[in-house]
């Protein structure tokens, strides 16, 4: 095949291979976030072949490309069974979790008849940032309800109190990303049903794992369509469905809520437009990959993979809890968990300094900042681990690394922000600078402040081979996020990421 390519084409592919060498490893379980490795080589191969078969297809018009309808119907049916939905449960395949969340909010807003700027979405502080994005895009207010810092699950009384006249949608997670706790879905559903407010369960993360989690050591609380008040559920195929990125499932109990998700227009001089999702023309590649994977794995395949994840998660949590100075937050019931400093220990370990020491030993964990909740309680800074089937094969190595890293950094001080940003933080504290001052600065000035703090997106980029961000010490970055007003840090990170693309 490759013999037929021209030298220029072969050269482009060779350069792409070179560029890919700068990327984090997507397979082998050494990166415990972002990537979901089934550990089955066949899964990657069928995903690639299925994507190739639909490569030129435009998923925009299912009447012209009925293969897309057939695959989407099968995935909806699989999801409906998996999530215990009745036959009337309907939905769509979307391009990912964020799009599923945005569409769930959009259809709720339009069903409720709220005009832009006039409604609210009520969700725990731990709800995925995709709902903040949805509220932002759709002109709604996101009301964030505190979770119990001990368990990471939202408190039902606080949630019930937060529901408002103008609430178009309530959202809970199964489980949430930052802590891995499953919110009390049934109790929240009782409260939202009584108020006539639809409830969305964000199972983007757990949707393709929890259905096979099993009954040990204690059954999971019910969180899917078995709970009467649950109106819609999102479940990402590109996470524990093991499909390549670009595919998620969004299901509704209410047919008309689903119809409200569609955008259609016949009042223009072009073809009649009827779009269930945000894109117009769209690839069918991830849809086809997801379809082929679910057809191959089926219920039995997923169950086997979940068994591996569950065993690995239980083992890792036990290991972390046995380390003096660290603790697992709450009782995670699913494939992700968070590690915090054990304040009760005489020798607490900073989870971010620990993550850096783990990284030096070849495993990448994900640092998460602390958060002040609206009720004044604080969610501690943590380090997140996403566990996948392949993790089990690495357990002895990984657990030895987690322990050795802890021994190395026990008693070490937490990471501090870069000097220039620590000074800026003092300026905020003494009132000589306000967040509004910084937000009003032109982008060039923000970029200058970043460069002064040693955060120059153009440094560390090795030509077009792109090793951008290589030198970024995330522990100091997150220390800055915690020390500065959050909107200021958002602005800085936007400037940094956008700066990666500048000349
Ligand atoms: C990943 C995730 C999302 C958003 O999904 P993307 O696929 O990254 O767009 C939403 N909710 C939860 C709980 C998630 O883990």
Across 17-49, b (16+ Cβ under 10 Å) vs e yields eeeeeeeeeeeebbbbbebbbbbbeebbebbee
Highest mean pLDDT: which of 205-219, 299-313, 450-464? 299-313
pLDDT the model gives residue 464: 41
Count how many Cα atoms sit within 13 Å of the Cα of residue 501 in the half-sphere of its side chain.
4
Which is higher by pLDDT, 230 or 215?
230
- Residue 310 near ligand 1, beta carbon < 6 Å: no
User: Is residue 460 over pLDDT 60?
Assistant: no
Q: What are phi and psi of 141, to 5 degrees?
A: -95, 135
Quote the pLDDT of residue 503: 83
Mode of pairing for the β-strands spanning 140-145 and 273-275: unpaired
Helix H or strand E segment including 297: helix 285-322
**What pLDDT score does 333 carry?**
87
- Report the C-alpha gap between 42 and 47 in whole angstroms: 8
Q: Is the pLDDT assigned to residue 81 strictly greater than 60? A: yes
In which band, very low, low, confident or very high, does the pLDDT at 192 lie, cut at 50, 70 and 90? very high
Asked, for residue 475, whether it belongs to a domain, the answer is: yes
The yes-or-no verdict on residue 493 having pLDDT over 80 is yes
Note whether residue 3 is domain-resident.
no
Give a yes or no: residue 378 inside a domain: no
CA–CA gap between residue 317 and residue 307 (Å, rounded) = 15
Please state the length of the chain: 503
pTM: 0.96
Q: Which pLDDT belongs to residue 93?
A: 98
Name which residue sits closest to atom 7 of ligand 1, judged by CA. Answer: 97
* H/E element, 41: helix 41-53
**Atom number of ligand 1 nearest to Cα 245:** 7
Domain endpoint, select from 242, 262, 282: 262
Ligand 1 geometric centre to CA of 472 (Å): 24
Q: Whose CA is nearest to atom 8 of ligand 1?
A: 97
Residue 168 lies in a domain: yes
Q: Which of 32, 104, 124, 130 has most ligand 1 atoms within 8 Å of CB, for mutation? A: 130
Does some domain include residue 19?
no
Average pLDDT along the chain: 94
pLDDT confidence of residue 219? 84
Domain interval for residue 446:
419-499
* Domain termination residue (choose one: 262, 285, 308): 262
User: In the listed set 262, 284, 312, which residue is the last one of a domain according to the structure?
Assistant: 262
Q: Is 173 in the pocket of ligand 1 (CB under 6 A)?
A: yes
How many independent structural domains does the chain possess? 2
- pLDDT at residue 276 tops 70: yes
Ligand 1 pocket residue status of 179, Cβ below 6 Å:
no
Task: Please tell me the predicted confidence (pLDDT) of residue 117.
Answer: 79
- Here the CATH number for the domain that contains residue 254 is 3.40.640.10
How much is the average pLDDT of 316-345?
95
Rounded to whole angstroms, how far apart are CA atoms 235 and 273?
26
Domain assignment present for residue 375? The answer is: no
As a whole number, mean pLDDT of residues 445-462 equals 82
Name the E strands within 4-97. 90-94
In a domain, 213, yes or no: yes
CA 424 / ligand 1 centre spacing (Å)? 33
236 lines ligand 1 (CB under 6 A): yes
Whether residue 201 has pLDDT greater than 60 = yes
Query: What mean pLDDT comes out for the span 377-396?
Result: 97
Where do we find the tokens 């049916």? Answer: 77
**What is the tens place of the pLDDT at every residue in 335-366?**
999 999 998 888 999 999 999 999 999 999 99
């Amino acid at each position: 095949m490759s013999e037929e390519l021209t030298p220029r084409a072969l050269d482009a592919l060779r350069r792409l291979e070179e560029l890919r060498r700068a990327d984090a490893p997507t397979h082998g379980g050494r990166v415990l976030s972002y990537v979901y490795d089934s550990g089955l080589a066949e899964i990657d191969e069928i995903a690639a072949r299925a994507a190739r078969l639909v490569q030129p297809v435009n998923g925009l018009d299912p009447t012209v490309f009925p293969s897309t309808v057939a695959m989407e119907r099968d995935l909806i049916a699989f999801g409906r069974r998996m999530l215990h939905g009745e036959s009337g449960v309907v939905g769509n395949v979307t391009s990912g979790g964020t799009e599923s969340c945005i569409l769930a909010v959009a259809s709720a807003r339009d069903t409720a008849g709220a005009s832009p700027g006039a409604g609210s979405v009520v969700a725990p502080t731990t709800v995925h940032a995709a709902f903040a994005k949805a509220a932002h895009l759709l002109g709604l207010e996101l009301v964030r309800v505190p979770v119990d810092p001990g368990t990471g699950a939202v408190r039902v009384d606080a949630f019930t109190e937060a529901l408002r006249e103008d609430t178009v949608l309530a959202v809970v997670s199964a489980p949430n990303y930052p802590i891995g706790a499953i919110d009390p879905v049934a109790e929240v559903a009782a409260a939202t049903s009584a108020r006539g407010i639809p409830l969305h369960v964000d199972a983007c993360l757990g949707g393709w794992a929890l259905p096979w989690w099993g009954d040990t050591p204690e059954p999971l609380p019910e969180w899917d369509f078995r709970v009467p008040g649950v109106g819609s559920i999102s479940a990402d195929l590109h996470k524990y469905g093991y499909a390549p990125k670009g595919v998620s499932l969004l299901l509704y109990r209410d047919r008309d809520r689903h119809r409200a998700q569609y955008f259609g227009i016949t009042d223009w001089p072009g073809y009649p437009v009827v779009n269930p999702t945000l894109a117009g023309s769209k690839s069918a590649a991830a849809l086809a990959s997801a379809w082929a994977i679910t057809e191959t794995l089926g219920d039995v395949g997923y169950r086997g993979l979940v068994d591996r994840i569950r065993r690995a998660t239980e083992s890792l949590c036990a290991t972390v809890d046995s380390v003096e100075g660290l603790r697992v937050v709450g009782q995670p019931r699913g494939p992700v968990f968070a590690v915090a400093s054990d304040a009760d220990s005489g020798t607490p370990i900073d989870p971010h300094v620990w993550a850096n020491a783990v990284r030096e030993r070849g495993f990448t964990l994900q640092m998460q900042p602390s958060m002040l909740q609206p009720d004044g309680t604080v969610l501690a800074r943590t380090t997140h681990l996403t566990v996948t089937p392949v993790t089990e094969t690495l357990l002895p190595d990984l657990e030895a690394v987690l322990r050795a890293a802890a021994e190395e950094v026990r008693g070490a001080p937490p990471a501090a922000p870069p000097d220039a940003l620590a000074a800026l933080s003092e300026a905020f504290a003494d009132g000589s600078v306000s967040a509004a001052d910084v937000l009003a600065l032109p982008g060039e000035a923000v970029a200058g402040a970043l460069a002064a703090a040693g955060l120059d997106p153009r440094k560390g980029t090795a030509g077009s081979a792109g090793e951008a961000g290589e030198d970024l010490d995330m522990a100091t970055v997150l220390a800055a996020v915690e020390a500065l007003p959050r909107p200021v840090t958002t602005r800085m990170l936007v400037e940094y990421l956008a700066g990666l693309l500048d000349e």
